[in-house]
Amino acid sequence: MEEEFEFGFTEDPKFSVERYEEMIRNHDQYFFDAQAFENIIDYYIEKNDPPKALQVAEYARNQHPFAAVFLIKQAQLLVVSNKVPEAFEALEKAAMLEASDPDIYLIRGNMYESMERYGEALENYEKALDLAEETDEVLLHIAYVYQNMGDYETSITYLKLCLKQNMENQDALYELAFCYDVLDNQEESVTFYQQYIDNEPYSYAAWYNLGNAFTKLSLFEKAIDAYDYAILIKDSFASAYFNKGNALVNLEKYAEAIEVYRHTFEYEQPNADTYCAIGECYEKLEQMDDARAFYKKSVKMDPKLADAWFGIGVTLDFEERYFEALHFYKKALDLDIANADYWFAIADAEYKLGHMTEAENAYDKVVELNPMDVDAWLDYSSILYEQQRLVDAIEIISQAIKNNPDAAELYYRMVAYLFAKGEYNEALTYLETALSSDPEKHYILFDYLPQLQKNKVIVDIINRYTK
């Protein structure tokens, strides 16, 4: 007859695990109480070993056939192992033993949610809500379902209820920011976080999200103040330093931004994005060697970071090393083929190298990807004008005006091209339109065709609008 030992919850969890493993080695049969089994299962879950945890759950079920907890644990582990039908079956059995356990409905809701069966997910979460003592996690799950359904307003309602239950729920704080972001409702976001901070002034997450909302409203000074509070409360908060650095960049305080970005290295491993951001600051300060050094660190760490390859190109372009710059621009483009800025830089470098056809093709791509880029249209038409292709230049500016009917500079450029072509009456019509749109920009016309400053008709028309 087999000898049976009993191990109880008074034992150290580590001791329970050792005894369990000894039992398996010896092909023996020891008895563990329910708490000891739970400890052993949790140990294997923490060790990220679901098969072993499942094996323990099976032993536990045999020894404690009326304990729903082991069926619930089994269901969780079966979900992780992608055995969904078996998980549903385990939960059915658990419900027969203890229908009032909220975890049954929480796990079932989770499974329905991942199957995009949102109605059934909500039904189960609502049951869990009725049964659970602490409801903030359940409310958070309901908010996620409404997000998945695209109903961000209702999601916000549940996230606020979640925070009412537990002011410390970090996930709810961040999800709320996300919902306000999707709805492009930063003002309400600011109001919410300010009220929240009145009750919880030491919530670094709330200060951080308030900073992000101010950033999206382009209120960078206020954003920096909010990030400073977040950092004051949690001085190792690397994300707050990083976003503060971004806000300083937006205020063109590049040297300060570099210092703040460097702070992140004290609290987390340097990463490619931060190296790239520092590179960009040095680039703006026209310290191209430093900029290039940081961009290179960035691509070494993440060879797929297109912006860093592009940055290397920009530093070379600045030094008039256009041929080398092109190589790096094209590396960036390979990683992000639909980036209009990359195409624009390529067009400009090709032009500077005298490769007119390549430049023209690249400009064509820029205006196709971003038809609102007025500068691209102007540069595109300019290279055609330089080649005496007046008809083509006029056609490009016509397309530009169709896409940007309020851009006065396009009309002034059209005036210059029409004058060059000898179509004076049409040129004067465009001049009137340009002047009524923005009379201050009339200098654009003279920049392009200085001889028009001696044209009395034009000077008289301009004076009519500017005096």
pLDDT digits 0-9 by tens, 287-317: 999 999 999 999 999 999 999 999 999 999 9
Only one residue has tokens 């290279």, namely 383
The 10s digit of each residue's pLDDT in 324-381 is 999 999 999 999 999 999 999 999 999 999 999 999 999 999 999 999 999 999 999 9
Using pLDDT thresholds of 50, 70 and 90, give the confidence band for residue 282: very high
Q: How many CA atoms lie within 13 A of 118 on its CB side?
A: 11
Pick 419 or 70 by higher pLDDT: 419
Whether residue 386 is predicted with pLDDT greater than 90 in this model: the reply is: yes
> What mean pLDDT is reported for the chain?
88
- How far apart are alpha carbons 39 and 462 in whole angstroms? 85
What is the DSSP code string of 223-287? HHHHHHHHHHH-TT-HHHHHHHHHHHHHTT-HHHHHHHHHHHHHHS---HHHHHHHHHHHHHTT-
- The vertex-56 CA angle with 53 and 62, nearest 5°, equals 145
- Which amino acid is located at 64 in the chain? H
Whether residue 20 is predicted with pLDDT greater than 70 in this model: the reply is: no
3-state secondary structure of 90: helix
pLDDT, position 10: 46
Pick 390 or 68 by higher pLDDT: 390
Q: Which residues contact 201 (CB under 8 A, 6 or more apart)?
A: none
- How far apart are alpha carbons 265 and 246 in whole angstroms? 16
The 10s digit of each residue's pLDDT in 241-277 is 999 999 999 999 999 999 999 999 999 999 999 999 9
Q: Which residues contact 9 (CB under 8 A, 6 or more apart)?
A: 33, 34, 35, 36, 39
Q: Which of the residue ranges 27-31, 132-136, 218-222, 453-457 has the most confident prediction, judged by mean pLDDT?
A: 218-222
- Which amino acid is located at 65 in the chain? P
Give CA separation, 393 vs 92, 306, 385, 397, in Å. 73, 32, 6, 6
Whether residue 5 is predicted with pLDDT greater than 50 in this model: the reply is: no
Whether residue 210 is predicted with pLDDT greater than 70 in this model: the reply is: yes
3-state secondary structure of 75: helix
- How far apart are alpha carbons 323 and 94 in whole angstroms? 69
| Percent of the chain clearing pLDDT 70 (strictly above) | 91
- How far apart are alpha carbons 52 and 429 in whole angstroms? 82
pLDDT, position 63: 66
Q: Which helix (H) or strand (E) holds 126?
A: helix 118-131
Q: How many CB atoms lie within 10 A of CB 285?
A: 14
User: What are residue 32's phi and psi, to 5 degrees?
Assistant: -120, 145
